[in-house]
Amino acid sequence: MNALNSSSKKLVWLAIACVLVVNAAILGKVFFNRAEVVATLQLSERELQLPYNYGFQKEDSSKRVSLRWMVLDSSSDVFEPAGFGWSYDRRLALSDSHFSSFQFPACEQNHHPYDKKEGWVLLELNGQSYADFVARIKRNYEHLQTLQPETNTELSEKALQEKRAGAKESLNAANNTVSRLFVIDAAAERELLEASLRTRATTTNATLVIVPAELQADYNRCDDPKKKITAVRINNLAVESLYISNDFLQGITLDSESHFTANVHYGRLNEPWIADLKVCEKDC
Amino acid sequence: MNKISKTRAQARADQIRAFRAEQALLAEQGLLQLPAASATGIRAYHDNLLHELQQAQDIDLNEHSAHLSLGMQIVSFLGAAALAASLFFLFYQYWGYFSTVAQVAILIAAPLLGLAAAIVVKRFDASGYYAKLAALVSFVSWTLNIAMLGSIFNLTPSPNAFAVFALYGFLLAYMLQVRLLLAAAIICSFIFIGAKCGTWLGSYWIYVGERPEHFILPALLFFALPLWFKQENFHGFTGIYQILSVVVFFIALLILANWGSGSYLPWPPSVIEGIYQTLGFVCSALLVLYGLRTQKANLMLAGNIFFALFLFTKFFDWWWDWLPKYLFFLVIGLTAILALMVFNRLRKTQQTIAQQIAQQKTQEAGGQA
């Protein structure tokens, strides 16, 4: 028999205490976060994307959804927003005070002007940014309707028709399937966003929430030292993937074709959770 | 028998084996004829001692068993990795069928059950391999516990997770003398300390690996740790601390010596690269000397390898494009021969010193007689 010696026995108790104390701390943090709902977003399959069932996901019996969000770059002249329906372009122009709060290193002093930083972003659901986004797509669609083929050939006629069809599809998607969740502001400190939130006018339907995120200075920040570029790129929200509790999935099938709505609560620690999920036959 | 570490027990057993082999050889050549009573007494004493050492530390009593032990270590490592992967996928396969309360209960129970299994198995398993396997499963369950609680409750990722992984890893490693868990705990500590340094310096902790300087300080700390806290009772722990620290330290230096832009230092990349190249040469040469002085062959070997790496990357920088390839490889070959001559000289110096010490001891012993 190789029993443990007295110092090893102490380590056993320490290991047990480690497991119990750390779990208690995590569950305590969860309880503290969820004890008060700071904001609620009513999202649908437009903003919550189910994972594609391939690779490792086939082995996972649980269900998660990812938050889909966009950035409307007001400084850009591009008629159709880049990253439409996707999230390739996440450039956001900021005010001087919000940009300087990140204390990005000066371009000439540091070889890391694009280091990623932790910060806070202001999310807007179904608000002015979404309205502007739809208006921009609509303008593009209407503009294309007024155009004539550049040269009177079958080829240019066909090219214009294709552009019009694309614009119609974009308008339809903007109205019905694209996410209405937009990142509209960012700062290094939460207090800065809270201050700007109080002064911000918004549409009646809009919901605003401040959440942590990972971001970096825009890639063209150091291109021209004379231009003062105060734009950032939003890489990720700190929590983008939301777990769907087994309780909401009893007796329902949830797949990429499903229509559903979910109430996503944000708690005291800005951590979200799905508080309710409802699957609908067609649009909810 | 007093508490003795496995390293010392194995060294003593090897010494007895060597004594017996030499004694037999001398007896064959007629140079040593011990009286029968003394020979029997010594043999009985050694047999008894070997039996006690074997019982206490499960040491290898001959070369065949040493080879088998190495095989068992490899098999137990592969077994632990496979069991860990199996546990990981088992969780995911059936995870979605449980309620949140059941999930939390399973997650908390899993590492504790693994720990209990390790302690129970340790009572009956003299070799300790099965207990170590159970400890590894407990550690994997612990990492799953923390990672999946974060996943269920959508928690913001935090570097603190690596601190608790490291803490539990250290506890299990010292409890059951598992070197693999010690290595895992040290790596988790590197990530945690590096991530915290990165956060204090203003970057996002997930990208800790983008700045190799984050790892230099923890590597030095972990290298020095066994010098402050002696690890004599823990077989191979000093080696794990120091070798892992040396590898991390020199890889960080090697990256910075070739990619100055990854540094926090506010100078041009070429200057930074020059500083780290010099530091790399000096530190690896110092490590060779330290390994020689403390008779730690593994540290000396690591110093040699990294010195060669620094040298060859420098040669590559200077001459790869400039010299014809046959000349480039000729230079490398000649450098290797030069290094061989230096090591040979060092070896002869060491042997001369050892011979002088041995002669001195013999003379002292003769004088006393």
| CA gap A269, B291 in Å, rounded | 51
Q: Is B175 exposed, middle or buried (0-12, 13-18, 19+ CB in 10 A)?
A: buried
DSSP element (H, E) containing A49: strand A48-49
B 189-208 residues with CB below 8 A of A? Answer: 199, 202-207
Tell me, what's the pLDDT at B368? 61
Indicate yes or no: CB of A214 within 8 angstroms of CB of B97. no
- Does A22 touch chain B if contact means CB atoms closer than 8 Å? yes
- Does B343 touch chain A if contact means CB atoms closer than 8 Å? no
What is chain A's pLDDT, residue by residue, as a tens digit (284 residues)?
A: 566 777 888 999 999 999 999 999 999 999 999 999 999 999 999 999 987 766 676 778 888 899 999 998 765 544 454 444 444 568 898 998 999 999 887 776 656 667 788 999 999 999 988 998 899 889 888 888 888 766 666 667 888 888 889 889 989 988 988 999 999 999 999 999 998 888 776 666 788 999 999 998 887 777 777 777 788 999 999 999 999 998 888 878 888 788 999 999 999 999 999 999 999 877 67
| CA gap B342, B312 in Å, rounded | 17
Q: CB of A167 within 8 A of CB of A142?
A: no
Indicate yes or no: CB of A2 within 8 angstroms of CB of B128. yes
Q: CB of B134 within 8 A of CB of B121?
A: yes
Tell me, what's the pLDDT at A81? 44
Residue written as token pair 């990294």: B306
Q: How far is B95 from chain A (nearest CA, A)?
A: 6
Q: Is B297 exposed, middle or buried (0-12, 13-18, 19+ CB in 10 A)?
A: exposed
**Strand ordering across the sheet containing A117-125:** A70-71, A181-187, A117-125, A207-217, A231-237, A91-93
The sign of the CA dihedral B166, B167, B169, B173 is positive
CA atoms within 13 A on the CB side of A39: 17
What is chain B's pLDDT, residue by residue, as a tens digit (369 residues)?
A: 556 677 778 888 888 888 888 888 888 888 888 888 888 888 889 888 888 887 777 777 777 777 677 777 788 778 888 888 888 888 888 888 888 999 999 999 999 999 999 999 988 876 778 888 899 999 999 999 999 999 999 999 999 999 999 999 999 999 998 999 999 999 999 999 999 988 888 788 888 888 899 999 999 999 999 999 988 788 889 999 999 999 999 999 999 999 888 888 888 888 999 999 999 999 999 999 899 888 888 999 999 999 999 998 988 888 888 888 889 889 888 988 988 888 888 778 877 887 888 788 777 766 665
Indicate yes or no: CB of B99 within 8 angstroms of CB of A118. no
User: What's the mean pLDDT when you consider all of chain A?
Assistant: 84
Tell me, what's the pLDDT at B271? 92
pLDDT tens-digit series, residues A250-275:
878 888 788 999 999 999 999 999 99
A 211-250 residues with CB below 8 A of B? Answer: 212, 214, 238-239, 241-243, 245-247, 249
A 248-267 residues with CB below 8 A of B? Answer: 249
Q: For residue A269, what are the CA distances in angstroms to A39, A67, A243, B76, B175? A: 11, 18, 17, 43, 37
CA atoms within 13 A on the CB side of A271: 19
Nearest by CB: B202 against A29, A117, A214: A117
Complex ipTM more than 0.90, yes or no: no
Nearest CA in chain A to B55: A2
B 300-329 residues with CB below 8 A of A? Answer: none
Tell me, what's the pLDDT at B149? 95
